[in-house]
Amino acid sequence: MASAPPAPRIHWFARLEHRFHVWREVRARKRGRTATVVPFPGYGGPGWVRVVGRVLIVPPQRRGKDGELASIRGWRSFVGIPVSFAKVSVHVGDTVHQVVADRGGVVDAVIHADLDAGWQTFRVSTEEQEPVEATAFVVGESTTFGVVSDVDDTVMVTALPRPFIAFWNSFVLDEHARIPVPGMGVLLDQLLRQHPGAPMVYLSTGAWNIAPTLRRFLSRHLFPAGSMLLTDWGPTHDRWFRSGREHKLTNLRRLADEFPHVRWLLIGDDGQHDEAIYSTFLEEHPDSVAGVAIRRLLPAEAVLAGGRTDAEPHGDEDVPWVSAEDGAGLRDRLGDAGILD
């Protein structure tokens, strides 16, 4: 009988990170602090839901004199302590599903649930804490159109590729100082109004830590609500940091497999690798792409971002590929391509 292959050896930096988080967790629990689930907007289809969130020990949120949450600088999003392999209960109606977080405290699980199409709510809990409300957008069987949008430099100006700017935007900048890309909120809202029941997915290489801040930013600037697929910046079992490009491609391929009847409008920018990622996905799944819209960085933004990526060839003439510097320009180009009325 053949022996099982040896388990992959975990990168030493990943083991070190895990030990550090365990040490922080032990200290926090000695002070009487407990874990909670921070849910993120997920999605689903007939009979199932993809539940996403993170189990953290978080410091109390500060509130102003008016009772509203105080303005939060980026670094405060990263002070929560992830709880590795935490058990999480997902309450859907009278049914309770048990799932387990990963080494970084991230919950990403598919459960059986018969929910109606559209935005639906359920509850999640851990460590016998009071359940908190979570949401997911359930895609109907008759839905044929959806939107996938990048975040950094597509809906929010960040100039992310340059390391110092990335550090500044992620850890220092006040969340109220973040700037939306002009016209993008109107564009996304118009797309969803024209296609009732269409899923909206924000797919970003940003860390899960910023998900609550991102949700507040999108709401404050009147962007439509959408499911969020972010990533963990920490090390994997075989490398120092996760591949942002692989994260996006993996999730696009997953969406194509889960919703073969949906054609996606892919929205990104030319400051990172969105064009290359979308070109690869278009070659692999031409029937899953309704069009590609690329936001061109302004000259000053391109300098901060370290320049633009080289334009990718896109030979499929059946799939419109448009570009402009803002949401209004993309809306006009998509109108010319027949995707928007």
Does 12-19+33-138 match 145-336 in CATH topology?
Answer: no
Task: Let me know if domain 145-336 sits in CATH 3.40.50.1000.
Answer: yes
Residue 280 has what pLDDT? 96
pLDDT over threshold 60, residue 300: no
> Which one has a higher pLDDT value, 213 or 264?
264
Pairing of strands 48-57, 81-82: antiparallel
Measured in whole angstroms, the distance separating CA 93 from the mean position of its chain's CA atoms is: 26
Q: Which CATH class is domain 12-19+33-138?
A: mainly beta
**Domain boundaries of the chain, sorted by first residue:** 12-19+33-138, 145-336
Q: 63 near 164, Cβ under 8 Å? A: no
Task: Answer with the residue of higher pLDDT: 7 or 291.
Answer: 291
- Say how many Å lie between the first and final Cα of the chain, rounded: 64
**Residue for token digits 């290489």?**
205
Model confidence pLDDT, tens digit, residues 51-80: 999 998 876 655 455 554 444 444 344 567
Tokens of 252: 């696009």
CA 139 from chain centre, in angstroms, equals 17
- Read off the pTM: 0.83
Amino acid at 206: G
Question: Mean pLDDT over residues 1-27, rounded?
Answer: 57
pLDDT exceeds cutoff 70 at 259: yes
What are the backbone dihedrals phi and psi of residue 110, each rounded to the nearest 5 degrees, phi first? -105, 130
